[in-house]
Amino acid sequence: MIFHETKLDGAFVIEPKRREDNRGSFARIYCTEQFGERGLDADMVQGNISSTTNAGTLRGMHYQVPPMMEAKYIRCLRGAVYDVIVDLRPWSPSYLQHFGVELTQDNRLGIYVPPLFAHGHQALADDVEITYLVSKAYTPGLERGIRFDDPMFAIDWPLPIGEMSEKDLEWQAFDPVTAGCEMQSAAPQGFVSQR
């Protein structure tokens, strides 16, 4: 696998290193050893598949707070999505910055999303399917979200916004003070939240 650093601290776009012969190809898409060598959370405990019917549909922006903050590793199996992550860690050098990447069935790229990053994606085609591994189980009481159109982040979604869940439409704009307090227990030693 080839790990490409993004502009966000600890987030990587992961490219499978394909080996081809007359039978077709083979590529490793996940390896705990290679994740661990980069300090990434490699203890994935749950695997999910998400299918989306219509292009333009948007899911997100989701994250979980301590003690169930989760890393994610996302890949597109069918179609294409524009995948976006936002660094919400107040101690990070890339705090409040976002990054987007197109994940498609053809480019076979994946994205590693560190804990305490908001994550969402927009379907770029009809009949899309993505898969993602997560390092903690989904915990409804600790799930949080931010608005897909929060002006603080000014995410430029490639298509007009189509279908969204009621829950995703109800997320509020990001409040750094409230979020920082919730994340305090995950902060590196010596970090003090700016209240």
| DSSP category for residue 153 | T
C-alpha of 108 from chain center? 16
112 is catalytic: no
63, 73, 112, 132: which is the annotated catalytic residue?
A: 132
| DSSP category for residue 158 | S
132 is catalytic: yes
CA dist., res. 63 & res. 48, Å (int): 15
Strands (E), the chain: 2-5, 12-15, 19-21, 24-26, 46-52, 58-64, 72-78, 80-87, 98-104, 110-113, 117-123, 128-134, 143-145
30, 62, 63, 98: which is the annotated catalytic residue?
A: 62
Q: Where in the sequence numbering do the catalytic residues fall?
A: 62, 132
